[in-house]
Each structure stands twice: as C-alpha cells, then as structure tokens.
Amino acid sequence: MSIRLSKLYGMDIFSDGGRYMGKVYDIIVDVEKGEVVRLTLESIHAASREEAQRIIKEKTVLYKNVRSLEDVIVVSKAVGAQVQYSYAPSSTSTREDESTSNLSFLK
C-alpha cells in the first residue's frame, strides 16, 4: 500500500475491534529502508529523550500492524503476538527491549 505521509497526520486510529485509539501525531521512518516503522499517538517533538522513549513504548502503533488506510487507520495484531499498541508499558522485558533497540536517534 502506498500513501503520502502528509495524509497520515491527524488520521483517527481504531483497533480492528472498533476501539478508538487516538490520532496520528508523528511518524517514525526508517530512512535506510525507506519504510514507516511507527505511528505515534502523542507528539514527540518537544520531548526530552526519556519522555520520547516513554511515548514510543506506550503510545505508538507499529506500522506493520496497519490493516487498512482509508478514511481512518485500522490496526490489528499479528496472530499469536501481543498487541503492539497500548497505553501501558509492555508486560515483558523482551518486548520492551525490542521497542527501544532502534532508538539510536534519541541518544
């Protein structure tokens, strides 16, 4: 699927179960691969490094979980995987380690 990044800003995000999650505030892109990695539900522009890390852990959606991009964004989880979008920190340290492993741009 291909879409202009500018169209994503402000779009509503819903779970595949119909739960409203929020709006897209920021988009995290892997510039080496040319891929969107995450959509944030809170702005990270003026955040400190620690605050940005908290937002990335707690208030982001992995783009690979996006199932539909029309008038709204619909996200779901991979089969057998823990939901990647949440408003609370992950319950396992493995997920937490995974989510912060690519945050070198915050250092």
pLDDT of residue 62: 94
* φ/ψ (deg, to 5) at 36: -75, 130
> Model confidence over 24-69: pLDDT tens digits?
999 999 999 999 999 999 988 867 888 888 888 889 999 999 999 9
The answer to whether 56 and 99 have CB atoms below 8 angstroms apart is yes
* φ/ψ (deg, to 5) at 28: -100, 125
How many CB atoms are located within 10 Å of the residue 40 CB? Answer: 20
Domain 5-101: assigned CATH number = 2.30.30.240
Whole-number mean pLDDT of the chain? 77
